[in-house]
Every structure is written in structure tokens, then in C-alpha cells.
Structure 1
Amino acid sequence: MHYILTLIWAFVLSQMINFVLHSLGGSTESLNFVSPTVYAIVFTVVIILLDILVGKSSSDKQNAQHS
């Protein structure tokens, strides 16, 4: 469930950053929704991988302490 929330927040924040930077740039082109969506998906995958790697090393340390 927390991975889904991570994806939702990453999507919302990346779209917000896209809108603000697009507005500040004074561009007359339409907003691009694809790039921020790809960034949100990549960010979520990186967070999932970090969670798996850090969780694995934490459990290994706990198992070593109990032995």
C-alpha cells in the first residue's frame, strides 16, 4: 500500500513541478504530461529498490545480533 501512495505522491509532485517550471519559463507550448509521469514511475521504482536493499541489510544485522 505504501508503494501505491509513493507513486501517487511522486506523480502529483512531479506534475506540480512541471507546471510551475513551465509557467515560470513563459513557454507558449502546451504542458507535457508524459515526462513527469515517467519521472514519477522511475522515482517510485528507485524507492522500492532502496526499500528492498535497506530492509534486507537491516534484517541481516538483526539476525547476526540474535545469533
Structure 2
Amino acid sequence: MTTLTLVPKKITHGDELVILPKKEYDNLRRRLDETRDALIKIREGEKEYKAGKIRPMRSLSQLDKR
């Protein structure tokens, strides 16, 4: 279980602050980067699909049927 520390608004003069272990931060950062990369690729694929550059396939055997 990850230990999180919440620093109150009084101390930070406005915003709440969360402190977590570096290992946990690194894991969250890596997952964020992977998610961003996946979303970019999905958007690119959707644009290509709408432009007619790609077509949907049900199996890899359809690759030979151009």
C-alpha cells in the first residue's frame, strides 16, 4: 500500500499538496506516458480511417485480399 501525505492549504498558501514516494511517482508517470502514446496512435488511426486510407478487417487473412 502506498503512503500518501496530504499537505493542507494553510501551509502551501492556497492549493493542497500531495506527497508520494518517488517509485510510485515514476510508475504513475510511466503509465501516463504510455496512455498518451496510445491515445495519439488511436487519433491518428481514426483520422486515417476517416480519410479512407485504411479499412476494417476481421482477420489477418484479409491482408492478402487487396
TM normalised by structure 2 equals 0.50
Query: Which structure has the greater CA radius of gyration?
Result: 2
Greater RCO, CA 8 A, separation 6+: 1
Higher helix share: 1
What TM-score do the two structures reach when normalised by structure 1?
A: 0.49
